Structure 1
C-alpha cells in the first residue's frame, strides 16, 4: 500500500496486488486518514467487480458523514453497476476534480 498526501487529500494506492488485504489495510488504518479527503487508487487492479467496490461502502458512508470526500479510481469499469453512494471515477484527475467540487459545495453549505 502506497500513501501520497497532497494538501487536504490522501491517495492510497494498492501496490500489493491482493485486493482483500488492501481493503483490510485501508480499514485498519482508516483513523490515520479520517480527517482528510481520500482517493482509493485501484488503477492497477484490472479484475475488480462491482461487489469488490461495494466493500468500500461502509468506509465511504462514514467518511461522507464526517464531511470529507471518498473517491475510488478504477479504469475500464461499468460505472453504472456501482451503488450511487460510492463515487467512482476513471482517472486520478477526475478524482481530484470531484474532491474540489465537493469542497466548494461544503463551503457553500450544501
Structure 2
C-alpha cells in the first residue's frame, strides 16, 4: 500500500496485485486512518469491478459516520450501479471536490 498524506487528506494506492489483497491489508491498518479524510485510488488498476469496490461499503459508511470523508477513485464503473453510501469518482480532482462538498455538508449540519 502506497500512502501519501497531505494537509487535507490521506491518499492510498494499492501496490498489491488484487483489490481483495489490498482490502485485507487496508482493513488491518484501518485504525491508523481514523479521523482522516481518505481517498483510495484504484485508477491505475485495470478491470476493477463494482463487486471489488463494494468490499469497502461498510468501512466507507463507518468512516463517514465518524465525520470524515471516504472516496474511491476508479475509472470505467457505471455510476448508476453504485450505492449512494459510497463515493466513487473517476479522477483525483473530483475526489478532492467530494471532500470539499462533504466538509460543507458537515458545516451545515447534514
TM-score by length of 2: 0.94
Structure 2's unaligned 5+ residue stretches are: none
1:17, distance to aligned residue in structure 2 (A): 2.5
Question: Which aligned pairs between 1:2-81 and structure 2 lie closer than 5 A?
Answer: 2-81=2-81
More displaced 10-residue stretch of structure 1: 7-16 or 24-33: 7-16
Q: Does 1:101 align with 2:101?
A: yes
8 Å CA contact retained: 1:14, 1:44? no
- Across the aligned residues of Structure 1 and Structure 2, the Cα RMSD in angstroms comes to 1.0
Q: Quick one: distance in 1 between partners of 2:52 and 2:69?
A: 19
1:80, distance to aligned residue in structure 2 (A): 1.3
Point out 4+ residue stretches in structure 1 off by more than 4 angstroms.
Answer: none
Count of aligned pairs between the two proteins: 110
1:8, distance to aligned residue in structure 2 (A): 3.2
Q: Quick one: distance in 2 between partners of 1:23 and 1:44?
A: 16
Q: Could you list the per-position Cα deviations for residues 11-35 of structure 1 after superposition, in whole angstroms to 9, with x for gaps in the alignment?
A: 1001222211101111110111111
Structure 1's unaligned 5+ residue stretches are: none
TM-score by length of 1: 0.94
Q: Quick one: distance in 2 between partners of 1:32 and 1:8?
A: 16
Q: Quick one: distance in 2 between partners of 1:8 and 1:32?
A: 16
